[in-house]
Amino acid sequence: MNDTQYEAELERRLAIIEDPAYDDPARKELTRTDWTWLFVGSAIVIALAFVWGYPA
Amino acid sequence: MSANLAPEAGMDSTTSELPTLKGERIWGFWSFTSVNVGLAIATWAFLGGGTIALFVGAQTAIAATVIGNLIGVILVAVTTCLPSAKYGLEQYTALRSVFGLVGVRILVLVLFTLAAAGWNGILAIMFGRATANIVNGTTGAEHPDNGVLVIGAAILAIVVSWILLVKGPVSIGWVNKIVAPGLAIMTVAMLVVLLTNNSWADLMAAEPLMPFESADVNWVIAIELGLGLGFSWWTIVGNLARITKTQRAAFWPNLIGLFLASCVAGVVGTLAALTLGDSDPTTWMIPLGGVVLGVLGLVFVGFANLTSMVAQTYSGSLAIRRALGSAGRKVSWPVLTAALFAPALLVVFFPNVLYDNFFIFVAYVALVMSSLCAVYFTDYYLLRRRTLHLRDMYEPEGVSRYSFWGGVNPSAYLAVLAGAVTYYLLLDPYTLVSAPLFQFTTASLPAFVVTGAVHYALTKLWIIPAGKGGYTDKATGAGAATAGRSTRVR
């Protein structure tokens, strides 16, 4: 792809993405539930691993 | 890395820095999970597990591997996968908002050159050691670990990898479909053999190979190595996530693949190293499987290393080509890939320096990656509140809202430097001599916090008041006004 083709393709893509009607599910952020699962789950795993594996 | 094996850059956003469109997002949860597992089950996971066995026994190693990898993978996935997935942005294009247009080019050139030298050198030496062990195991010869055969085979591995890459990386895409499941089967087989030949109690009682005197220091060094292995995914995983369909699909598979599968392979490596008394995976196969199965295993390890080298260098070459923009597209593919393979040719002449001291390499990786991860995390989540302006990512310096001084954001670089110094003060990566505080904090996590704090403070006190970087709407400048009419720089 030369520079001219690249510019045209980039502009085409940006125009599509900036269209108010463009709806991409990837724009939806992780939910509060996702973050809760992440924090609580990882805290439990780390705590269990620490208690089990910490050298006595 | 097999996922990146695709034809030369064309109009396809997956092989260029173009933003991804909705229709090009091909990976859902399970397909990205399989890519992640394929990435995680690689020969370096065995090497990482074997390295942790130098410092701690099995039970502590399993716990430290879990803790270190989990924290590292979560921080990397949150930092790189979510923005790349949300905006369909190539990771190093998105990093323009952090380091500036020129700043990110410098970063890519330095980072990928060093990473290629390190990882390709290590994988090539492992290929060489596997070759020497095959010859020794089948002929009774005694080629030394750092001898001519190892170095010669390592050089051959680099040359063959380069030829494969020049001939066409697509041709080995199908090979990866064999290598990844094959390594998974080998991992399970090794675990079965280890558990069959040793009781659980014996495995748990096995002594570490080369520990420090303090149990607490050994414990935290093992966690630190886990963190380093987790942070090491920073360079590639964001680019994979940009073709996932949702941010959930971009995030959660990392915990199955890069975390869980890596831990399994790493723990198998640790158990093998502890029971066989050697951290080098190429010495395990014949004692574990006998001559025939052991040689087959070594051939497979060598083959897997070749494909990893090709895939890794392919990703690095594309990243450099993207970062250099128009100039990068003018460099021929054979020359570009040869330049990226070349530094590893020096590394393989000293097999004991990197390969036998893999923990030093991982510690340096952690020193760099924890700070890079922190500066991106702070910029995207705390300073920009998860909002990027896509068009400005591609506008020229001075027009884009992401303009700084000469295309470089000094705040980001100073913050990374502060993080690296913090790491060094807590743990010298070369000697593993640590400060007293290290056994309570690790080195990567304080480096992460210091980097983030410095970048946040400098941006609030210096960059934003100077009207640089587009952190506020007031500083938007000409970017929006001239959108679509300016001459872009890439």
Question: A44 vs chain B: nearest CA distance in angstroms?
Answer: 11
Contact B67 A46 (CB under 8 A): yes
Among A2, A11, A14, most B C-beta atoms within 10 A, so best to mutate, is A14
How does pLDDT run along chain B (490 residues), one tens digit per residue? 333 333 344 456 666 788 999 999 999 999 889 888 878 888 889 999 999 999 999 999 999 999 999 999 999 999 999 999 999 998 999 999 999 999 999 999 999 999 989 999 999 999 999 999 999 999 988 999 889 999 999 999 999 999 988 876 555 556 667 777 888 888 999 999 999 999 999 999 999 999 999 999 999 999 999 999 999 999 988 888 999 999 999 999 999 999 999 999 999 999 999 999 999 999 999 999 899 989 988 988 888 888 888 878 887 888 888 788 777 778 888 999 999 999 999 999 998 888 989 999 999 999 999 999 999 999 999 999 999 999 999 999 999 999 999 999 999 999 999 999 999 999 999 999 999 999 999 999 999 999 999 999 999 999 999 999 999 875 444 444 333 434 344 3
Class of domain B27-359: mainly alpha
Closest CA to B345 of B172, B187, B136, B154: B154
- At residue B123, the pLDDT reads 93
A39 Cβ under 8 Å from any chain B Cβ: no
Contact B71 A46 (CB under 8 A): yes
ipTM over 0.90: yes
Question: B97 vs chain A: nearest CA distance in angstroms?
Answer: 17
Question: B6 vs chain A: nearest CA distance in angstroms?
Answer: 15
In A, which residues are within 8 Å of B391 by CB distance?
Answer: 14, 18
Q: Which residue of A has its CA nearest to B393?
A: A14
Q: Which residue of A has its CA nearest to B87?
A: A27
Q: What pTM value is reported for the model?
A: 0.91
- Note the pLDDT tens digit of each residue in A31-55: 999 999 999 999 999 999 999 999 8
- At residue B9, the pLDDT reads 42
- At residue B484, the pLDDT reads 40
Give the nearest partner residue to A53 out of B22, B64, B484, using CB atoms.
Answer: B64
The answer to whether B272 and B50 are in contact (CB under 8 A) is yes
Q: Which residue of B has its CA nearest to A34?
A: B248
Among B22, B75, B220, most A C-beta atoms within 10 A, so best to mutate, is B22
CA distance B304 to B186: 12
Closest CA to B98 of B412, B463, B451, B448: B412
In A, which residues are within 8 Å of B9 by CB distance?
Answer: 1
Question: B290 vs chain A: nearest CA distance in angstroms?
Answer: 32
Alpha helices of B326-443 — where are they, by DSSP H? 326-330, 333-347, 351-354, 358-377, 410-426, 438-441
CA distance B114 to B373: 17
CA-to-CA separations, B222 to B48, B202, B266, B324, B359, in angstroms, rounded: 10, 21, 12, 38, 10
Tokens of A37: 């699962």
Residue range(s) defining the domain that contains residue A32 = 3-53
CA-to-CA separations, B441 to B73, B282, B444, B446, in angstroms, rounded: 18, 34, 8, 7
Tokens of B46: 């065995």
Question: B484 vs chain A: nearest CA distance in angstroms?
Answer: 7
Contact B70 A46 (CB under 8 A): yes
CA-to-CA separations, B472 to A18, B354, B401, B424, B460, in angstroms, rounded: 20, 45, 9, 34, 11
Q: Residue A2 gets which letter from DSSP?
A: -
In A, which residues are within 8 Å of B250 by CB distance?
Answer: 26
Contact A38 B394 (CB under 8 A): no
The answer to whether B72 and B226 are in contact (CB under 8 A) is yes
A32 Cβ under 8 Å from any chain B Cβ: no
Among B394, B445, B482, B487, most A C-beta atoms within 10 A, so best to mutate, is B394
Amino acid letter for position B288: L
Domain count, chain A: 1
Q: Residue B166 gets which letter from DSSP?
A: H
Instruction: Give the A:B interface size as CB pairs under 8 Å.
Output: 106
Contact A27 B70 (CB under 8 A): no
Domain ranges for chain B, please list them: 27-359
Sequence-distant (6+) residues with CB within 8 A of B375 are B98, B412, B415, B416, B419, B451, B452, B455
